[in-house]
Structure 1
Amino acid sequence: MKFTKRAVALVGAMIMLAPLVACGSGSSSSSSTGTTSITVWSWDSTVPLTVAAFEKANPNIKVKVTNAGTNKDEYTALNNAMSAGKGAPDIAQIEYYALPQYVIGGDLENLSSLGASSYKSFYTPGTWSSVNINGGVYALPMDSGPMALFYNKEVFDKAGITSAPTTWDEYYQDAKKIRAIGSYITSDTGDAGFFDSMTWQAGATPFATSKDGKTVTIDLTSDAGVKKWVSYWQKMISEGLIDTKTAGWSDDWNKSLGDGSIASLLTGAWMPNDLLSGAPEASGKWRVALMPTWTSGSTANSENGGSSLAVIKSSDDAKVKAAYKFVQYVTHNSAGIKTRVDAGAFPSDTKTLASSDFLDKTTLTDSNGKTNEYFGGQEYNKVLAQAASDVVTGYKFLPFEVYARNVFADDAGAAFTGKSITLSQGIAAWQANLKKYAESQGYTVK
């Protein structure tokens, strides 16, 4: 398995950020019966649901899905396995933001030669552009996270807001109305993924990597889109209009979503089932709307989250071909996609997004298998499908984005929780950190 000096350095950084996860498939390419065994690392709960049907259709391929922990845990384990030259899986779930570092490290198979380059029209523009790097297709999209506004209609009604804001100016005015009744319009304690999504929607392009992978551009302090968002969000922070104390995904956060203390979320389209499980007491109160935009009539949107399935580079052709077959089944086969979407995954393919079964849906299914009209009978997927089609392409992630997101709070967090610095100062510190780190890894920085 190919491994680069740059990836070795990344391993050291990642070890400090997350605990080690034992790794290693140890499976041989094939048995005496001609069966090929492949291993998959994925924290997504819907991927294992596809295995039985795939194996039935492909009896000569056996699939073992291993949950290597959270995304950070998996990346640490993956980096360590690659460093050791053994123990890596045949397939790995890799989020779109993390994909470039493995492509530039030379660790992934280019799927173009296997036919993936012809799939462009099958996927949404945002997800397809995320797996196309330096002219190659290095993974296939397994889900997506177009941004949307999820809001508590009961709280908005109480504040005298009759419709969801369509511009950021309206959002600011609504934030003041909601704060006046004791709630916050949203929360943010310093989330790097959220920052990327919001600056992306604002038209920012602060990062770039040369095709040879040797030069990176880091321009957070003068990029017009970044400055636009930072200035706006600083106003929200300074005026106390957002909750900067309650950490996302904490018990207190879920409680606040349930009781209306936090009245809306700007997040990815994968959120519906998380709302149902985290704040079930708010069932029927929430609705979904398109993201506010910077100018009236604009449709510009961005992504937040979403993952791909990548085939790890190997000299074993049988493994590569078998792995690609499974990746295709999960991400490109209609039955595989339906299995995952029915279990709560948000689709990345245009066919599902346009289907009446998906668009007409008004209910969610809870962990007990019961249907729930969490969004008050709204056909919420129609909004989310539109959000997916509105994603603008062209935003690039750093080839060490995993590191970048992990240190964001170290540099910019004080602008939220302690307010001892401005967000602009925090972003400048983050840029300096990223520049220093990039240079330490051998990159030329522009």
Structure 2
Amino acid sequence: MRRKTSRLLRGIALLSTLALGATACGGSDDDSAGKAVSASDIQAALKKGGTVTVWSWEPTLKTVAADFQKKYPKVKINLVSERSGDKHYTALSNAISAEKGVPDVAQVEYFAVSQYALTKGLSDLAPFGADKLASKYTPGPWNAVSEDKAVYGLPMDSGPMAMFYNKKVFDKYKIAVPTTWDEYVDAARALHKADPKVYIANDAGDAGFTTSMLWQAGSRPYQVDGTNVKIDFADAGAKKYTDTWQKLIDEKLVSPINGWTDDWYKGLGDGTIATLTSGAWMPANFATGVPNAAGDWRAAPMPAWTKGEKASAENGGSSLTLPSLGKNKELAYAFVEYANSGDGVQTRVKQGAFPATTAELQSSEFQSTKFEYFGGQEANKIFADSAANVADDWSYLPFQQYANSIFNDTVGKAYVSGTKLSDGLKSWQDASVKYGEEQGFTVEK
């Protein structure tokens, strides 16, 4: 390993939530690395059996694991699901660093895949035949797990964006559902004027939402080539976003409530938050978190930056990966392919997961599903169309977790002070550049 990359790894290891550890390079000693694994090799492993330890918080995998074990009775799936978010990544990174207790399969969100891949923490699945599966997935998720000829995971789900809106509120104030962001700003003004307690949306500053909005607007702030990184929030797409969103902030048209809080759920339920632009995985959260508003809400396409455009973006989503230091590679890959490309996909969709596979997204059964919560609307048609219109050239930083952790200290100031959103993005850029350089990246700005 080059000294530069070793320094990069040591730097990342200083943060517990990011610690991949210099010893992650031990993954290059994986016996299966680079060697083709045939279908007969995988079948032989399944016949022989063994245990596969899977770290994942995704609830539908419980049924998938049970079904897999019924099909292959000599295989035991040890599903560890008590952690999610930072706790999950801390545990995974610490295990890789210690070279002890590394799972055979790990769920990794799309924004974090490149970080683990860069530090050799993940096995390349191309030798198992994963590179032949590209056409099965929508562009956004596949782009997130692949680089050149390497494939570092199979997409588990996706989050093509849509705008959820409270039809009851829009009808009450005779507001047309916005199809562009300019119309969205007009709707925000009209709603708040009609009732000062009603806001078009909540936004207290969120890194994931901001990057998704930039993605849709055509901004590409991150360019990554190994340890060479470019960070630039001053392109035309970013200006589209900041010019529009600054109006909402300046005119106090967005509620300053943080998402996923009690106040947020209350606002979604009582109509004081009238829209939510989010990933297609959101309907289940509406049904469980805001049951009193069933029938009030609907889904609509994400507003366009220019009338008639259909560009969308992803928000959320994750993959199943094989950590390099994990064992039972053939069995582990067989389970991942079953869960994310085989029979397990239908099982997960029936339990509410939103697929990343084109076959399910395009199926009449999927698209004709009626959502009782949304008044019987066939919302999957909107979500599937969104998925088909996600540009596949978006990149995340190989230290995106860190970048997201400093969002509120930079961009977040635009929501609580006189700082302009564009200046907040510049501060985010500068802080990310500084961190990247400290970790050994070559950073262009």
* TM-score of the superposed pair, with normalisation by structure 2: 0.89
Counterpart residue number, 2:218: 203
For 2:380 and 2:275, the matched residues in 1 are separated by 17
User: What code does the residue aligned with 2:128 have?
Assistant: L
Match among 420, 423, 431 for residue 421 of structure 2: 423
Question: What aligned pairs does 1:57-206 form with structure 2 within 5 A after superposition?
Answer: 57-162=71-176, 164-182=177-195, 183-206=198-221
Structure 2 partner of 1:411: 410
**Residue 295 of structure 1 is aligned with which of 302, 306, 325?**
306
Residue 97 of structure 1 aligns to a residue whose secondary structure is helix
Range moving further from structure 2, 351-360 or 252-261: 351-360
Per the alignment, residue 238 of structure 1 pairs with 250
1:309 to 306, 320, 323: 320
Q: The residue matched to 1:161 in structure 2 has which SS?
A: coil
Report the alpha carbon displacement of residue 230 of structure 1 after superposing the two structures with TM.
1.4
Specify the code of the residue in structure 2 equivalent to 1:215.
N
User: Is the partner of 1:83 in helix, strand or coil?
Assistant: helix
The answer (yes or no) to whether the contact 2:131–2:149 under 8 Å persists in 1 is no
Q: Per-residue CA shift, 1:48-107, capped at 9, x if unaligned? A: 221111011122321111125222111111111111111111111111111110111111
Match of 1:368 in 2: none
**In structure 2, do the counterparts of structure 1 residues 7 and 69 end up closer, same or farther at CA, with 3 Å as the change threshold?**
farther
Q: How far apart are residue 406 of structure 1 and its match?
A: 1.3
1:353/1:385 contact within 8 Å kept: yes
**Which structure has more helix as a fraction of its residues?**
2
Contact 1:150-1:287 at 8 Å conserved across structures: yes
Hey, what's the Cα distance between the residues in 2 that align with 1:192 and 1:272?
21
Q: Tell me how far 1:14 sits from its aligned partner.
A: 3.3
Does 2:16 correspond to 1:14?
yes
Contact 2:167 2:297 in 1 (8 A): yes
- Seen in structure 2, the aligned counterparts of structure 1 residues 119 and 269 have a Cα distance that, compared at 3 Å, is same
Aligned residue number for residue 20 of structure 1: none
- Offset of residue 431 of structure 1: 1.1
Partner of 1:41: 55
Cα distance in 1 for partners of 2:400, 2:18 equals 15
Match of 2:236 among 224, 230, 235: 224
The alpha carbon displacement at 1:315 in A equals 7.6
Deviation at 1:132, TM superposition (A): 1.1
Distance 2:426 2:162 in 1: 28
- The amino acid of 2:175's aligned partner reads I
1:273 corresponds to 2:288: no
The aligned counterpart of 2:382 is 383
- What's the offset of the Cα at 1:264? 0.6
Is the CA contact 1:151–1:287 (under 8 Å) kept in the aligned structure 2? yes
SS of the residue 1:265 aligns to: strand
Deviation string for 1:143-197 (max 9, x for gaps)? Answer: 00001000000111122124x2111111111111111232111111110000100
Tell which deviates more after alignment, 62-71 or 381-390.
62-71
User: Take 1:62 and 1:233, find their aligned partners in 2: how far apart are those partners?
Assistant: 50
Deviates more, 1:38-47 or 1:259-268: 38-47
Equivalent position of 1:22 in the other structure: none
- Correspondence for 1:23: none
TM-score between both structures, scaled by the size of structure 1: 0.89
Question: 5+ unaligned residues in a row in structure 1: which ranges?
Answer: 18-30, 364-372
Closer, same or farther: CA 377–403 of 1 in aligned 2, 3 Å: same
For the 8 Å contact 2:204–2:258, the answer to whether it is kept is yes
The Cα shift of 1:5 comes to 4.9
Q: Confirm or deny: 8 A CA contact 2:126 2:149 kept in the other structure.
A: no
Task: Determine if contact 1:68/1:77 at 8 Å carries over to the other structure.
Answer: no
The aligned residue for residue 435 of structure 1 is 433
Corresponding letter in the other structure for 2:15: A
Q: Aligned pair in 2 of structure 1 residues 405, 430: CA closer, same or farther (>3 Å)?
A: same
Tell me: CA distance 1:64–1:7, structure 2 relative to 1, closer, same or farther (3 Å): farther
Residues 26-49 of structure 1 show CA distances to partners (whole Å, capped at 9, x for unaligned) of xxxxx9x95321111111111122
Matches within 5 A, 1:318-333: 319-333=328-342
Q: In the alignment, residue 274 of structure 2 is paired with which amino acid? A: A
- Say whether 1:349 aligns with 2:362: no
One-letter identity of the residue aligned with 1:7: L
State the distance in 1 between where 2:72 and 2:146 align.
Answer: 28
Instruction: Give yes or no for contact 1:147–1:303 (8 Å, CA) kept in 2.
Output: yes
Equivalent residue for 2:275, pick from 248, 252, 264:
264
Secondary structure in 1 matching 2:132:
helix
**What RMSD in Å do the two structures reach over aligned CA positions?**
1.8
- One-letter identity of the residue aligned with 2:341: H
Q: By how many angstroms is 1:15 displaced?
A: 4.3
Q: How far has the Cα of 1:343 moved from its partner?
A: 1.3
Q: Secondary structure at the match of 1:13?
A: coil
Aligned length: 412
1:119 Cα deviation from its structure 2 partner = 0.9
Deviates more, 1:8-17 or 1:428-437: 8-17
Q: Secondary structure at the match of 1:374?
A: helix
For the structure 1 residues 80 and 8, does the alpha-carbon distance in structure 2 shift closer, same or farther, using more than 3 Å as the test?
farther
Q: Give the Cα–Cα distance (whole angstroms) in 1 for the partners of residues 403 and 167 of structure 2.
A: 36
Partner of 2:29: none
Contact 2:18–2:93 (8 Å) recurs in 1:
no
Name structure 2 gaps, 5 residues minimum.
20-44
SS in 2 for 1:53: helix
| Distance change >3 Å, CA 94–CA 137, structure 1 → 2 | same
- Cα offset, 1:393, TM superposition: 1.3
| C-alpha separation in 1, matches of 2:93 and 2:18 | 13
**Equivalent residue of 2:57, what SS?**
coil
Equivalent pair of 2:414/2:424 in contact (CA under 8 Å): yes
Preserved contact between residue 103 and residue 133 of structure 1 (Cα < 8 Å): no
Deviation at 1:16, TM superposition (A): 8.8
| Cα distance in 2, alignment partners of residues 11 and 87 from structure 1 | 17
Distance of 2:158 and 2:263 partners within structure 1: 27
